[in-house]
Amino acid sequence: MRDYYSSEEFREKAKAFRKFTFRMRFNKARIASVARDEQVERSVSFLKAIGALSPILKDWYLCGHSPESAKRFNVVDKPEYLRKEVMDWVSDQDGDMSRAIQYSLWNGEEDIFKGGLSLSYFAHDIEMMPAYMEFEDAGALVMAMPDVKDVLVGMMSAAVEFWPEIEWGVVAPEDYYLKYRVFTDRLTAGWIGYCPYPLKNADFSNAEEIVDIPGRGSIIVSSSEVMNEKNREHYERVGDIDTKLVELGYLPM
């Protein structure tokens, strides 16, 4: 791998790589009411569900000191590894943090350009701290998958199925998410967004697709193409969607 990292191939891929945010935010009061064991069970079921979407998402490991050590602990095959990881982390906490659940997983792919990414989970009801589930860096999936839009929609749908406590979800270029949102004091629908309310096609005629999730809300896709914040059409389309969500009272702070 060391020779690869210094190769011209790696440098060219690095130039083309674009960071993406894929984050789902929990309602803190609701997620804190879910027992730890149930959260672990949901996590494993979710990992199995997204594993059916792509081989890149099939295996998940505890993060270790090296790739070799991490790959000894596949939490999909042996959920007890994840359960122990969570309980060991909790036992090391005190105060408000002792009520939280946190873990990080890795999909076993060392090359980010081939889909290597991690999953971070942090559930709690602590003030002034976000509670979320996040894939880092989702740009790895964008680069590695020709059908990435459908896979991302499937991942978000699965998350919402297992966690009704999710109150918003977004996939967007990281620069757009951090710097260029139309409403800087609010979240955004981004390229692919989850809203916990049912959305009507008539209200979002410029959206590429609205996926209804019965009893959960909707996933809204702004463009069939991978979103590029430097593309004026993409930028304006997401801005129009976010503006309508604000008018409806749906876009959270």
- Give the start-to-end residue ranges of the domains of the chain: 18-147, 165-253
- 58-62, 122-126, 233-237: which has the minimum mean pLDDT? 233-237
Give the tens place of pLDDT for each residue, 49-88: 999 999 999 999 999 888 898 999 999 999 999 999 999 9
CB 88 within 8 A of CB 36: no
- Output the CA angle 129-132-135, nearest 5 degrees: 130
158-168 pLDDT tens trace: 999 999 999 99
> In a 3-state reduction of DSSP, which class is residue 145?
coil
pTM of the model: 0.93
Written as six digits, the tokens of 102 are 């946190």
3-state secondary structure of 83: helix
Task: Give the position of tokens 């980010």.
Answer: 112
Q: Are the C-beta atoms of 216 and 159 separated by less than 8 Å? A: no
Q: Number of helices (H) and strands (E), helices first, in the chain? A: 10, 9
